[in-house]
Amino acid sequence: MSIINSMSSRAGRVARDMKGSVRRARLEGERRLLERRHRSALEALGSRAYALIRDGALSGDALAPEVADVENRLAAIDAAVAAMDHDGSDDREAAHDERQSADIAFPMVSDEPKDPDRAG
Cβ pair 31, 23 in contact under 8 A? no
Mean pLDDT of 36-52: 92
Query: 61-84 b/e with 16+ CB inside 10 Å = b?
Result: eebeeebeeeeeeeeeeeeeeeee
Helix axes 64-105, 2-55, angle to 10 degrees: 100
Residue spans per domain, the chain: 1-58, 61-108
- pTM (2 decimals)? 0.49
Confidence class of residue 59 from pLDDT cuts 50, 70 and 90? confident
Interatomic CA distance for residues 85 and 94, integer angstroms: 14
pLDDT of residue 120 exceeding 50, the answer is no
Cβ contacts of 70 within 8 Å, gap of 6 or more: 50
Q: Which of 43-52, 57-66, 109-118 has the lowest mean pLDDT?
A: 109-118
* DSSP helix, strand, coil percent of the chain (3-state; round to 5): 80, 0, 20
Confidence class of residue 39 from pLDDT cuts 50, 70 and 90? very high
pLDDT tens digits, one per residue of 63-119? 888 888 888 988 998 888 888 877 655 556 666 666 666 666 556 555 555 555 554
**How many C-beta atoms lie closer than 10 Å to residue 13's C-beta?**
10
Cβ pair 38, 58 in contact under 8 A? no
